[in-house]
Structure 1
């Protein structure tokens, strides 16, 4: 399990000769870091508040970020597993017509999973950016650099996840799936870039 490795072990594996972990896992890792950092900031803000609606909001948001961090961490291993199963499908026997059909079905099935795991990471990371912006509005100036770091990681996770998805789309035979994911990927990318720019503009205008 990649998620159980130490940071040094994970980095060594990423730099190693094995196919995974690679880009999809890195996208999930970046998103998990963004969620964890946002959780830390939200908890800190809540700890400085008296009992009230905003304190409850920050505590709830911190809990949500904890759950998201766990989900992104799960996606690290899910991405690696999906890729390994795709490689196994490519190695299936294909001497008979029946074997060829079964092999092709498994390749298509696992290619879709390989495309969908980073897509899900990208979509969740993009939506998480709204929560990061909410935290920013209640953070003091000393926390804004951490807020920006979380936002940058989230945007990077979204864009890199989408790129991994797009890389696998040409291998899918379902044109409807390809068109749907292409359209949705473009929208997610647009929203991620916009959300990051809006936060930076807000910080600039508030200083």
Structure 2
């Protein structure tokens, strides 16, 4: 499993001629790095002097975000393996025999299914990344100034994860024949990119104002 590899081993495997892991897995890693950094900001803020100056409502907001972020860390790591599984499933479909009409139909259906499976993983990753922005925002707004740059890095990495995930969706959409489904996914991806970009700017404005 990719998520259990040492960083050095993962990098070597990613840089090799093996098809898995690939860009989709790397997107998930970047998302995990973003959530981990966000968690670090919370851990280095809660209990500190600045945190004690917040209202009870603000403290609850931070506590909830800090608790929620743990699930993102684990989920993004799961996406690493899911992405590889989706890609290998598609490749297996292409290797199916196509000698008879029956085999051709079966192969075509499996390829269709393979493309759908291959795009749903990065699409779900992108969706989860959009949700994570709220936690990153809270970490930037209420986090200690000593680690405010880490909140900024988390936002930058998250943007990279979103754009990478959407790119992986887009490439697999090329194999989808259903125009209605294709258009629906494409529209969702465009909206995801728009929301992500706006949220990143919002967070970086906070980060830069605290640094300046």
In the other structure, the counterpart of 1:173 is 177
Number of aligned pairs? 207
In the other structure, the counterpart of 1:15 is 15
Q: Is contact 2:163-2:193 (8 Å) kept? A: yes
Q: Is contact 2:41-2:148 (8 Å) kept? A: no
- Alpha-carbon distance in structure 2 between the residues aligned to 1:190 and 1:67: 25
In the other structure, the counterpart of 2:42 is 42
The alpha-carbon distance between structure 1 residues 203 and 3, as it changes in their structure 2 partners (threshold 3 A), is closer
In the other structure, the counterpart of 2:195 is 191
In the other structure, the counterpart of 1:132 is 136
The alpha-carbon distance between structure 1 residues 142 and 62, as it changes in their structure 2 partners (threshold 3 A), is same
Q: Note the aligned Cα RMSD (angstroms).
A: 1.5
Q: Is contact 1:45-1:58 (8 Å) kept? A: no
Equivalence map 1:1-207=2 (5 Å): 1-48=1-48, 49-50=51-52, 52-206=56-210, 207=212
In the TM superposition, residue 135 of structure 1 has moved relative to its aligned partner by 1.3
In the TM superposition, residue 40 of structure 1 has moved relative to its aligned partner by 1.6
Q: Is contact 1:30-1:156 (8 Å) kept? A: yes
In the TM superposition, residue 39 of structure 1 has moved relative to its aligned partner by 1.2
- Alpha-carbon distance in structure 1 between the residues aligned to 2:18 and 2:44: 40
Q: Is contact 2:155-2:200 (8 Å) kept? A: yes
- Alpha-carbon distance in structure 1 between the residues aligned to 2:74 and 2:84: 16
- Alpha-carbon distance in structure 1 between the residues aligned to 2:62 and 2:114: 39
- Alpha-carbon distance in structure 1 between the residues aligned to 2:206 and 2:44: 21
In the TM superposition, residue 201 of structure 1 has moved relative to its aligned partner by 2.1
With structure 1 as the length reference, what TM-score do the two structures score?
0.95
Q: Is contact 1:126-1:155 (8 Å) kept? A: no
Q: Which runs of 5+ in 1 are unaligned?
A: none
Deviation per CA, 1:179-204, whole angstroms, max 9, x where unpaired?
00110100100111111111222333
With structure 2 as the length reference, what TM-score do the two structures score?
0.92
